[in-house]
Amino acid sequence: MCRIITFIILTTLFTSSSLKESGVKGVVTKEDVKCLEKIATSSGRSVYLIVRHDGYPSEMHNVTTQDGYKINLLRIPYGKSKLNPKILRRPVLIICSYIDPLMACLNLQEDSLPYLLADAGFDVWIGDFRGTTLSSHVKYNKTDSKFWDYSHDEIGYYDIPAFIDYILGLTRRRRLYYVGISYGTQVICVTLASRPEYNQKLGKIAFLAPTVVAGHSKSLGFMYSAMLSGLIGDVLGKTPMKFPGMENWGAEYHRVCNAKSTDPQVCPTFFSKFFDQTERLPTKSDELNF
């Protein structure tokens, strides 16, 4: 597996043109570096403690799916305003990326979407589905191949409905708002197609960077992964895979990209080409209107 990932990364770097030629100059901004440094310094801390450190209330809730997976919800019930925290606010469920969805949704910036929505008066919930660091199963361990015997279909069929039912039951609401970012747009489509009764449980849906079909992605990481998908499946099968959390990505970025021996063009080129230079979570400067 390490050899496959190394091949993808090296191919990405060597097929990338220089910053001047590719127009990538300035892609990694000072704000991006600040965010990554904050992720690095947050290593080992619970996400809900990071949220509290940023001045917001936070709660962790555990949910069990119909097929036995124990998944989690991070709740930010209200913002920094002085409004009565007991007011019944409209719940909004945010589902983000496949890798470390909690940290990726927060983006660890003061003007990240969950914080903006909490300050705007919403009861914010962020879903952490099966296969992540915090998830588990009532019967299987993560070393068991059966733990990993699922696809996007199961996340959409079991996990998302479990989130929705739990939130509506706790908040005593009939409907909630849903914000899907990247992978979160794909799994809600599975939910609504396979379990149409959940259409009645959603008020409004917002899709940000939808990835229902990734055929037009400019990310070299996606392209090379797709080319090698058959090989990866044959080699790994249902072998347990541990993805590094966002705090580990941030720590490595801080260590490698700030090293004196590192060419200043390497990191911006890698991030812009491997993840697509336009890939970024929305912030206050985007003037989001929900």
Which regions of 120-196 does DSSP assign to beta strands (E)?
Answer: 122-128, 136-137, 176-181
Q: What percent of the chain has pLDDT over 90?
A: 36
Q: How confident is the model at residue 46 (pLDDT cuts 50, 70, 90)?
A: confident
Residue with tokens 């699922």: 150
Q: What's residue 104's pLDDT?
A: 76
Confidence of residue 290 (pLDDT cuts 50, 70, 90): very low
Q: How much is the mean pLDDT over the chain?
A: 74
d(CA 250, CA 267): 12
Q: Find all residues with CB under 8 Å of 20, minimum gap 6, and list them.
A: none
The 8-class DSSP code of residue 198 comes to G
Say what the pLDDT of residue 63 is: 97
pLDDT more than 70, % of the chain: 54
What confidence tens digit (pLDDT) does each residue in 208-260 have? 888 766 666 666 666 666 666 666 666 665 555 555 555 455 555 556 666 55
Say how many C-beta atoms besides its own lie within 10 A of residue 253's C-beta. 21
State how far the Cα of 195 lies from the Cα of 202, in Å rounded to an integer.
12
Q: What pLDDT band is residue 26 in, cutting at 50, 70 and 90?
A: very low
Q: Name the band, by pLDDT with cuts 50, 70 and 90, for residue 18.
A: very low
**The predicted structure's pLDDT at residue 111:** 75
CA distances from 42 to 50, 72, 211, 253, 284 (A): 7, 20, 29, 13, 22
Of 62-71, 85-94, 120-129, 222-231, which range is least confident? Answer: 222-231
Q: How many Å is the maximal CA-CA distance in the chain?
A: 57
Q: Which residues pair with 64 in a beta bridge?
A: 70
Residues 152-159 have a mean pLDDT of 96
pLDDT-derived band at 179 (thresholds 50, 70, 90) equals very high
Question: What pLDDT, on the 0 to 100 scale, is given for residue 127?
Answer: 95
Domains of the chain as residue ranges with CATH: 1-41+216-277 (no CATH), 45-212 (3.40.50.1820)
Look up residue 105 and give its two tokens. Answer: 């949704």
Please answer whether residues 116 and 122 qualify as being in contact, where contact means their C-beta atoms are separated by less than 8 angstroms: no
Measured distance CA(287)–CA(213) in Å, rounded: 27
pTM of the model: 0.72
pLDDT at 263: 59
